[in-house]
Structure 1
């Protein structure tokens, strides 16, 4: 017996596409987004590749193409090339009166927080002591002894300088 309804992935996309194109939907937003995608593609083709990789199309309003540059140096070079780039865009059918370049620096990722480290449990210390006793004299045995000694003193065993 067939399911009461069946949603296929392409039908969901079609429904969304119809909503976005509807007069009371997001037709203007969709049209502007498609224009920005087209402008981005053209921009990547006309701008020097090293500058296109370090910048992106941000908006297009009243004939002004807004470009976000990742650094001041990239922005300065793009400002020098703005008349040439605007001419290329016009040549490709875009009514571009000029470019507005803004520095939009990429935020570096936040440093990873160090999780709070728990001390060794009594059971862990006992098992490590048994391991130490079963090992012959070696760098591994010395490392286990060092770990146990730091654990007994309440130090974080994983955060030790090499010269201690």
Structure 2
């Protein structure tokens, strides 16, 4: 029920003169994001989002420098593909936004160690002499066991 109320509120808000430009801009940016997902290499597109489009300059946000570098290599073809789709894009800027919430829709879940891994780590810890490595393995095991009990 709440979603319907929010959608109704946003629909009414989008019709007001004060907010019409904002909603129009966001609608256009959403369509451009869909086009970007179609024309960009899938292994890059899934990690990126459009940051803005102003004065024919498009900003693409990448989560890290490696993806940004690969994206920069594809910029000439992206520019041509956007133009072929009817968008007046004359320049593309790639910005790195680490820890962004939009990457893949949700934050990554913390990896879990399966039972076989836990058993192997127990054997390893038992065989190691007292050392920082042994302490680190035991700490990892303690976290893995507490995660299993909580989950």
TM range (shorter): 0.5 to 0.7
Q: 2:46 aligns with which of 53, 58, 67?
A: 53
Secondary structure of the structure 2 residue equivalent to 1:37: helix
Q: Which has the higher helix share?
A: 2
Which of 29, 32, 40 aligns to 1:36? It is 29
User: 1:20 aligns to what?
Assistant: 14
TM-score (normalised: structure 2): 0.60
Greater RCO (CA < 8 Å, at least 6 residues apart): 2
Report deviation, 1:26: 0.5
Q: Could you say which residue in structure 1 is the equivalent of 2:90?
A: 97
Where in structure 1 do 4 or more consecutive aligned residues deviate above 2 Å?
A: 7-16
Instruction: Provide, for residues 76-108 of structure 1, a one-character-per-residue CA deviation record: whole Å limited to 9, x for no partner.
Output: 111111111011001001110011001111269
Distance 1:11 1:55, change over 3 A: closer
TM-score, normalisation: structure 1: 0.55
> How many residues align structurally?
103
Kept in 2, the 8 Å contact 1:83–1:98? The answer is: no
Structure 2 stretches lacking a partner, 5+ long = 102-106, 108-141, 143-151
Larger deviation, residues 13-22 vs 96-105: 13-22
CA contact (8 A) 2:63 2:100 kept: no
Moved more, 41-50 or 11-20: 11-20
Task: Give the Å deviation of 1:22.
Answer: 2.1
Q: Secondary structure at the match of 1:32?
A: helix
Q: Could you tell me which residue of structure 2 aligns to residue 156 of structure 1? A: none
Alignment pair present for 1:66 and 2:62: no
